[in-house]
Amino acid sequence: MINFVTSNKGKHIEAQAILGDLVQKDIGYVEIQADTLEEVALYGMKEVAARLQGPVMLEDAGLFVEALQGFPGVYSAYVQKTIGNAGILRLMEGQENRLAYFKSVVAFAEPGLGTVMFSGEVHGQIGFEPRGKKGFGYDPIFYVGDESLAEMDLEKKNQISHRAGSMRALKKWLDSR
């Protein structure tokens, strides 16, 4: 059993579909302001590994929009809370280049082992309007092909998503031990 530190039920559901036996721990941790998702995850892992016993993991993700020079990137959660999808769509008004990608970094630690990290990415574009009711966060405005992530069922999303990529990399590593 792995303790998955997240307040996001959607993340937990997606991760559990890949990894199986996860226990969601909504205990919060300090998310530093840093240049990379890896730095944020590593700093957070030091805190949560000291507070929880046994295997523990956390995941940090970001939306990187080419026309916005990578914004919101490491600030994606804050930007989602403050201006949301509507704000991103406003920032994208008049932009022809709508290329974007999601990146996910999973940090995992257990007693006697240093932190290991795995990442995944999915490339797509920012749509012109939100579509779909599934998923969470930026999913309604992030399109892969003609479909937003919020229009995909969990099985399809978990075949292509950034989070699925990082979680599958962790699972492969765990299974190989």
Active site positions, annotated = 60
Total Cβ atoms within 10 A of residue 176? 6
Query: What's the CA gap between 137 and 144, in Å, rounded?
Result: 15
Query: What's the CA gap between 110 and 57, in Å, rounded?
Result: 9
Query: What's the CA gap between 165 and 94, in Å, rounded?
Result: 32
Residue 125 backbone phi and psi in degrees, to 5: -150, 160
**What region, left, alpha or beta, does residue 84 occupy, with left being phi > 0 and alpha being psi -120 to 50 degrees?**
left
